[in-house]
Structures are given as C-alpha cells and as structure tokens.
C-alpha cells in the first residue's frame, strides 16, 4: 500500500474541515475526489502535503517509505516531497526573481540528494527539462521566466504538470488542476498526467467536475461532504454525479 | 509565516558569526580620549608633514563645533567620544613600508583565517590586497607588479609620505572635513587606509582590494581611502570588513573618496560584514561612513556596489557627484538586517554636468526585529541638461516584527531632466514558502532562493568571487535568523 489515512480530523484556525477521513491507496491507482465547494477536498490534499496552516487534531496519515507504511505527520513539507509526494496547486503562487529552471533544478537536486542519486548541473538539467516540454506544448522560454510570474491560468497549470513529470512522484495530488482550463489546455494537461500513470505512480485527482475524468480514467471516485467520504464508487459514480448533482447524496441542496 | 519562524528560530537560537574570533596580538594604544595632543601624537607616530597635521587640527576644531546629526530614522545611542581609543596597532609592526612575510605569525594567521592569505606563496592571484588591522595597514600584496605599470596601491600613510602632491591635491576634495560630523572626526583622527592612483590610460591589471579588520577593544576605526583614476584609466576595487564578536559597541567612521578624471572608470564594491551584535542587540559595530565619488571629467564613470550584511547600526550613503559631461554614476545595494540591526543607507546622485546619467538599484531585506531604511537623493542642478536618473528601491520583509522604509528625495532644477523612481515592498509569504517546500526544497533553501532572486540585479554587478561570497553571506545570515 502507498497511502493509508486513518480517521483524519484537521482544522484551520478554529474551523474543523476534515471530520474523519479514511482512505487507502495502492501503487498504480488513480483516485478522484469529488464534492461540492467547501467539502474539504483542497484541505485534504494540503494536509497530506503538510501545509502549516492546517492542524491535524486526530487520526494519522501513513505513507510507504522504504517498503513500509510509516506516519508522516511529523515530516516537513519538503521531507514529504522528497519521499515522492507531489502537490499540484489549484492556484500556483508567483515567486518573482527566481527563474523556473533554477527552482526546478533545486527541487530536482533536493530529491536526488535525498534518494542518494546524482544531482544534475544546470546544463544537463535543462536538457532533461527540454525533453519533457513537447508533451505539454510548452516552449523553452518558460524555463527562463520567474516562477509563475505573469503566467496565464493555463500556463500555470501546465507548469505544475511539468514539475510533476520532472519529479516523478509516487503520489501526485492534483488539486483542481482542471479549473480555469479551456478544452485544449485540459487535454494537454490530461496527457501530461497520463504520462505519469504507471504501476508505481498513484494519482489523486481533486476535482469539482467530471470533465477531467473523461481524459484521465479513475479507478475510484470518492465523494467528500463535510469533511468525510460519504460515498465511494468507480468511474460511473462520477457520471452519475454529473447527471444528478450532489443533492441525492448529501440530502440537502448544495452547489 | 509565524508558524515557520517560531519553530525555525528555536532551532537556530545559537548565533553564528564565524569571523567573531579575537587575535592575541600585543597592542600599542594611545590613551583613551580625544584632544589636540592625541591628534598630534597620531600625526607624529606617522611622521606626517606639517600640512597633514594642520589638516587634522583644523578638522578637529570644526568637529568640536559640530553637533551629532539627529536626522536618522532611529535613535542612535549616545557615543562618549572621550571613552574611545583612537589609535591601536600591533606592537611589533612598524609604521611605513614593510614586508608582509615578516609579519607577526598571529597576524598572518588572522588574515589566513579570514580567507585572505598574505604570504607571497599563498596569495590570491588576480587581486592585490591591502590588509588593515585596527589603526594600521599591515602591508599590500602584489605591490611591485602594480608599480611596473605605474599603479600606486599602498596605505594612505605611505602615500602621504611618498606621494604628498597627489594626496594634498585630492584629499578632502570630494569629502571636505566640514562635510558632516563623522567626516570631520575622521579627518582629524584617521589612522590608516588605502591609497590608489591609476595613471593615465592604464587599465589596472588586477583587482585591488582592502580588507579591514577591527580587533582591539574599545577602539574606533577611522580609515580613509582615496582612489584617483587618471584620464582614461580603469580600476575595480573591492572592500571587505569583519570584526570580533564583543558585547560592547565599537565605532567605525571611515571616509572613501574617489576621483575619476576624463574617460576614467572606477568600480567600487563592498561586502560589509562587521559584527552586528547578538540577537538581543548587544554589541556590534556602529558603521558611520562617508563614501563619495566625483566624476570630475567628461565621460567618467563611478559605480558603487554594496552588500551590507553586518554592523549593529549602519549609516552610509555612497554617492556620486556627476560633474563631467556625459558622466555616469551607479549605486547597487543589498542591505540585509536581522536580529536588532538598524540600517539607514542609500545614495546621493548629484547631476551637475550635461547628459549625466545615474542608476540606483536598492534591495533592502529585513528580518527578525530589524529596521531597514533606504534614503536617497537625486538632485539635478540647473546646468544638467538632459540628466537622467532611474531609481528602483525594493524592500522585502521576512516575518512581521521588522520594518522597511523608503525615503527618496528628488530635487530637479532643470526641466529637461528625466527622473524615474520605482519602489516596491514585498513579503515572503507563507504560500511561497510552502510552494517551494512542497517541491522538496527545505525552508532555509527556499528563503535563500527567494532572497537571492530578489537581489539578483545587484549581485550580478559584483565581481564573480565577491558575488559568490555575497550569496553565501546572505544565506548564512538568514540561516541564523529565520532558519
């Protein structure tokens, strides 16, 4: 097993958002987490990545490190990333002054060092990055711009997926990667994500709409509501949600 | 952010100033206090000519009539000028020219520890170094090689003795003794410093560098540097400074004067890392310095690049007087304050000649409980047709107990002038940090990536070795303050 979440409760400031999440993910699986706005979808991915604004009040997150499940609750976000957990942001932040390639190179080398692999200098790394660009229809000049600065919504999302491909995470958490994308960009991003799919890499897609799932096929679909998973199904559940909305599951009208 | 900070700060309670060691050298000091007799003693010790002593005594008279400036943004503790030593030198180092290889081994070791080997066989190639220890210059490397092309690089004391005509002509021509309180004090008591003369048409074959080390206790360091670039010459000059870690404050009040004649260019870079005091603000150097360059001739250029990372209090404004037609001045600055450091720094660009141009790029970074002020003046005089200035002043805050302020003064007396000023303040946000961390970059490295990105425009103006050192220095400073 890659990830095991037990009875996870988490809050931000004084508001409890996650109310007992249980989730198990095996290598190679694609899980979609759906749910109405405010149900805790984004929070779940941030808590798994270790965002400092969220406090876990109960429960545990276990992750496979060196073949064994171990709690990662005490790990810094960077340590979790080094163990192969990747968070694709819904709103990637701009980091003025730091070039994309420099940032990616630092991240890549941090992971290499952690895993005892050789690091890459800028020249070698650039070649490696450039080899990944065509999949995402990105041009090389993206690499020399400041991280996300002045990028359009679609460019930011592509940039997230590019980083994901470079870092080759064992667990990719993609938070609303589809939001704000036109259909062409959506297809491109989906193509990128599908490139990562393998029997070793697992993906959690956090999404509001079923649209993305037309391009990335999930093995499981979970519906999150008030910080709990209230229903789990296969791909057909997503289609059912598309048709009926969430009301029939939640018992109340939601958006 | 605070969540990061508090934890990271806990981890790094230990202060780390690796230049904070003290050398055990027997010193010769004059009695504490300042009066005419002390000044006469300094002058006599240095075998100075009469005119030099007169210069000092007149400056002293002026100084006695002056008041300590009050316009700083923060309170500067009262300094008891009678409770300081004004002259301290290692006992067995002779005044005047000397061989570096004969220095006290403890002194050689001191500089070696600082990364500046002085012995002939270990010297850094491509850089000539004047090593100043407390009140005296210990000696200058590569001197003979420079002499071959006519470059004079020696201590100011030696220059007064051997090149009085140059010193008399230019000393005080850019920073007159009456310029300000600390300039007057320096003019009265300056002990040593560097002198540079680049003859007509000569491109100095190597970088010149002065390394200032304060070691003695309760001693003020008042060095004086004079750089003269004759017509069509070029020199790249570097300055570095450190001091031992002590609980009491020490005063450093220097003067640097640069004169660039027609078609000459001087680049002056400083990495200032005086001891800044501990995290409670105890100890550290008061760095009150007057640095000014005169672009005297047509097409002359002077640029100041500074990385200010040390000192408890910094008060300095490296400036350019753009007198020659088409002359250019530049000021590139990174000022980093952490713990309880106070920095009030910036520049003045005085446009006098036609078509003069100045560039100001200032990056202030404040962390912990520090205060960081940019203060700058751009003045365009009536005769400065088509003068152009571009200023960019950016501040970055790390944490929420520090402050950054920008005071730009603009005074334009010629309607054809173009003056542009841009300013920004940013804060390293928790979201930025989390973003970088979520990719595997740890908090410390993430902050240094962001800060280095912020300072890039300034670092790229530094000579390569200096820029590497500057990046390391900033990283190390931030390691201590934010983790």
Answer with the residue of higher pLDDT: B128 or A55.
Answer: A55
Q: Which residue in the set B430, B437, B456 is minimally distant from A76, CB to CB?
A: B437
Q: How confident is the model at residue A172 (pLDDT cuts 50, 70, 90)?
A: very high
**From first to last of its 483 residues, what are the pLDDT tens digits of chain B?**
333 433 443 343 334 666 777 777 676 777 888 899 999 999 998 899 999 999 999 999 999 999 988 887 778 888 888 888 887 776 665 544 456 667 777 777 777 776 767 766 666 667 788 887 776 777 777 888 899 999 999 989 999 999 999 999 999 999 999 999 999 999 999 988 899 999 999 999 988 988 877 777 777 788 899 999 999 999 999 888 676 676 778 888 999 999 999 999 999 998 888 888 888 888 888 899 999 999 999 999 999 999 998 888 999 999 999 999 999 999 999 999 988 999 999 999 999 999 999 999 999 999 889 999 999 999 999 999 999 999 999 999 988 888 999 999 999 999 999 999 999 888 888 889 999 999 999 988 898 899 888 898 898 888 777 777 788 888 777 765 544
What confidence score (pLDDT) does residue B97 get? 43
A93 inside 8 A of chain B by CB: yes
A111 vs B contacts (CB less than 8 Å): 440
| pLDDT tens digits, one per residue of A127-148 | 999 999 999 999 999 999 999 9
Rg (CA), chain B: 22
Q: Which residue in the set A93, A114, A146 is minimally distant from B431, CB to CB?
A: A93
B439 vs A contacts (CB less than 8 Å): 78, 81, 86, 103-104, 107, 110, 163, 167
3-state secondary structure of A17: strand
Contact B266, B304 (CB under 8 A): no
What confidence score (pLDDT) does residue A188 get? 94
Name the average pLDDT for chain A: 94
Record: contact A107-B436, CB cut-off 8 A: yes
A145 inside 8 A of chain B by CB: no
Record: contact A103-B456, CB cut-off 8 A: no
User: Secondary structure of chain B in the HEC alphabet?
Assistant: CHHHHHHHHHHCCCCCCCCCCCCCCCEEECCCCCCHHHHHHHHHHCCCCHHHHHHHHHHHHHHHHCCCCCCCCCCCCCCCHHHCECCEEECCCCCCCCCHHHCCHHHHHHHHHCCCCCCHHHCCCCEEEEEEECCEEEEECCHHHHHHCCCEEEEHHHHHHHCHHHHHHHCCCCCCCCCCHHHHHHHHHCCCCEEEEECCCCECCCEEEEEEECCCCCECECCEEEEEECCCCEEEEEEEEECCCCCCEEEECCEEEEEECCCCEEEEEEEECCCCCCCCCCCEEEEEEEEEEEECCCCCEEEEEEEECCCCEEEECCEEEECCCCCEEEEEEEEEECCCCEEEEEEEEEECCCCCEEEEEEEEEEECCCEEEEEEEEEECCCCCCCEEEEEEEEEEECCCCEEEEEEEEEECCCCCEEEEEEEEEECCHHHHHHHHCCCCCHHHHHHHHHHHHHHHHHCCCCHHHHHHHHHHHHHHHHHHCC
In angstroms, rounded to a whole number, what is the distance separating the alpha carbons of residues B389 and B366?
A: 26
What confidence score (pLDDT) does residue B124 get? 66
Q: Which of A92, A96, A113, A129 to mutate to test the interface with B (most CBs of B within 10 A)?
A: A96
Q: Which residue in the set B4, B432, B456 is minimally distant from A93, CB to CB?
A: B432
Distance between A253 CA and the closest CA of chain B, angstroms? 33
Record: contact A97-B456, CB cut-off 8 A: yes
Contact B129, B147 (CB under 8 A): no
Record: contact B441-A110, CB cut-off 8 A: yes
Q: How far is CA B19 from CA B24, B275, B368, B475, in A?
A: 15, 8, 21, 15
B446 vs A contacts (CB less than 8 Å): 78
Answer with the residue of higher pLDDT: A209 or A201.
Answer: A201
Nearest residue of chain A to residue B448 (CA atoms): A98
Q: Indicate if the pLDDT at residue A123 is higher than 80.
A: yes
- Kind of pairing between the strands at B284-295 and B249-252: parallel
Record: contact A97-B441, CB cut-off 8 A: no
Residue A239: CB atoms within 10 Å: 15
In angstroms, rounded to a whole number, what is the distance separating the alpha carbons of residues B225 and B241?
A: 14
Label residue A140 exposed, middle or buried (CB < 10 Å: 0-12, 13-18, 19+): exposed
Q: What is the mean pLDDT of residues A224-228?
A: 94
Record: contact B442-A76, CB cut-off 8 A: yes
Nearest residue of chain B to residue A166 (CA atoms): B439
Contact B192, B222 (CB under 8 A): no
In angstroms, rounded to a whole number, what is the distance separating the alpha carbons of residues A50 and A56?
A: 10
pTM of the model: 0.82
Interface residues of chain B, partner chain A, Cβ below 8 Å: 3-4, 426, 429-432, 434-443, 445-446, 449-450, 452-456
Record: contact A110-B436, CB cut-off 8 A: no
A77 inside 8 A of chain B by CB: yes
Where b means 16+ CB within 10 Å and e means fewer, B401-411 reads ebbbbbebeee
Nearest to A144 by CA among A105, A177, A118: A105
In angstroms, rounded to a whole number, what is the distance separating the alpha carbons of residues B323 and B329?
A: 10
Task: Look up tokens 């900033």; give the residue.
Answer: B474
3-state secondary structure of A247: helix
A55 inside 8 A of chain B by CB: no
What confidence score (pLDDT) does residue B29 get? 73
Nearest to B395 by CA among B455, B347, B446: B455
Task: Look up tokens 């070696």; give the residue.
Answer: B112
A81 vs B contacts (CB less than 8 Å): 437-441
Contact B290, B175 (CB under 8 A): yes
Q: Indicate if the pLDDT at residue A238 is higher than 60.
A: yes
């Amino acid at each position: 097993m890659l990830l095991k979440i037990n009875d996870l409760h988490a809050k931000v400031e004084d508001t409890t958002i996650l109310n007992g999440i249980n989730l198990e993910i095996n290598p190679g699986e694609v899980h979609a987490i759906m749910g109405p706005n405010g149900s805790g979808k984004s929070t779940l991915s941030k808590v798994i990545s270790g965002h400092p604004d969220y406090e876990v009040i109960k429960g545990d997150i276990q992750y496979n490190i060196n073949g064994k499940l171990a709690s990662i609750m005490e790990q810094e976000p960077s340590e979790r990333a080094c163990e192969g957990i990747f968070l694709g942001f819904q709103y990637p932040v701009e980091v003025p002054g730091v070039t994309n390639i420099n940032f990616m190179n630092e991240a890549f080398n941090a992971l290499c060092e952690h895993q005892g692999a050789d690091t890459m200098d800028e020249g070698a790394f650039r070649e490696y990055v450039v080899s990944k660009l065509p999949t995402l229809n990105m041009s090389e000049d993206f690499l020399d711009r400041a991280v996300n600065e002045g990028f359009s919504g679609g460019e930011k999302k592509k940039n997230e997926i590019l980083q994901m491909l470079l870092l080759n995470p064992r667990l990719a958490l993609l938070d609303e990667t589809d939001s704000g994308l036109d259909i062409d960009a959506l297809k491109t991003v989906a193509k990128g994500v599908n490139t990562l799919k393998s029997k070793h890499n697992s993906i959690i897609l956090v999404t509001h709409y079923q649209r993305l799932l037309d391009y990335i096929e999930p093995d499981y679909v979970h519906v999150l509501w008030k910080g709990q998973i209230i229903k789990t199904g296969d791909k057909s559940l997503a289609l059912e949600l598309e048709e009926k909305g969430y009301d029939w599951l939640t018992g109340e009208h939601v958006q | 952010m605070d969540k990061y900070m508090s934890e990271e700060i806990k981890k790094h309670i230990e202060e780390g100033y690796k230049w904070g060691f003290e050398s055990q050298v027997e010193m010769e000091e004059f009695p504490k206090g300042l009066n005419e007799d002390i000044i006469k003693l300094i002058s006599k010790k240095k075998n100075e000519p009469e005119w030099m002593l007169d210069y000092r005594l007149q400056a002293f008279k002026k100084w006695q009539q002056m008041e300590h400036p009050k316009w700083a943004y923060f309170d500067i503790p009262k300094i008891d000028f009678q409770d300081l030593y004004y002259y301290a030198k290692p006992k067995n180092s002779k005044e005047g020219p000397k061989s570096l290889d004969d220095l006290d081994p403890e002194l050689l070791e001191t500089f070696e520890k600082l990364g500046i080997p002085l012995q002939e066989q270990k010297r850094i190639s491509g850089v000539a170094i004047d090593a100043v220890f407390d009140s005296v210059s210990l000696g200058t490397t590569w001197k003979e090689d420079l002499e071959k092309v006519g470059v004079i690089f020696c201590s100011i004391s030696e220059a007064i003795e051997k090149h009085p005509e140059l010193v008399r002509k230019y000393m005080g021509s850019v920073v007159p003794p009456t310029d300000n309180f600390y300039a007057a004090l320096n003019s009265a008591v300056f002990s040593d410093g560097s002198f540079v003369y680049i003859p007509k048409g000569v491109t100095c074959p190597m970088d010149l560098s002065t390394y200032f080390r304060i070691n003695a206790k309760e001693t003020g360091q008042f060095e004086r540097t004079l750089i003269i670039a004759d017509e069509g010459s070029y020199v790249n000059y570097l300055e570095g400074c450190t001091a031992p870690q002590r609980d009491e404050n020490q005063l450093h009040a220097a003067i640097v004067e640069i004169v660039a004649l027609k078609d000459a260019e001087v680049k002056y870079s400083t990495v200032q890392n005086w001891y800044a005091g501990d995290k409670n603000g105890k100890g550290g150097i008061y760095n009150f310095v007057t640095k000014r360059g005169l672009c005297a001739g047509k097409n002359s250029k002077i640029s100041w690049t500074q990385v200010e990372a040390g000192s408890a209090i910094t008060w300095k404004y490296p400036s350019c007087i753009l007198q020659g037609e088409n002359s250019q001045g530049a000021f590139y600055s990174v000022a980093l304050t952490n713990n309880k450091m106070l920095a009030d720094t910036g520049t003045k660009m005085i446009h006098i000649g036609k078509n003069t141009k100045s560039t100001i790029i200032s990056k202030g970074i404040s962390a912990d409980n520090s205060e960081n002020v940019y203060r700058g003046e751009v003045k365009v005089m009536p005769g400065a047709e088509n003068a152009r200035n571009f200023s960019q002043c950016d501040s970055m805050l790390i944490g929420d107990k520090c402050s950054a302020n920008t005071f730009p003064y603009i005074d334009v007396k010629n309607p054809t002038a173009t003056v542009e000023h841009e300013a920004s303040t940013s804060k390293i946000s928790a979201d930025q940090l989390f973003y970088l961390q979520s990719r595997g970059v740890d908090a410390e490295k993430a902050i240094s990536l962001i800060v280095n990105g912020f300072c890039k425009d300034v670092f790229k103006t530094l000579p390569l070795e200096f820029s590497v050192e500057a990046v390391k220095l900033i990283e190390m400073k931030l390691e201590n303050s934010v983790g």
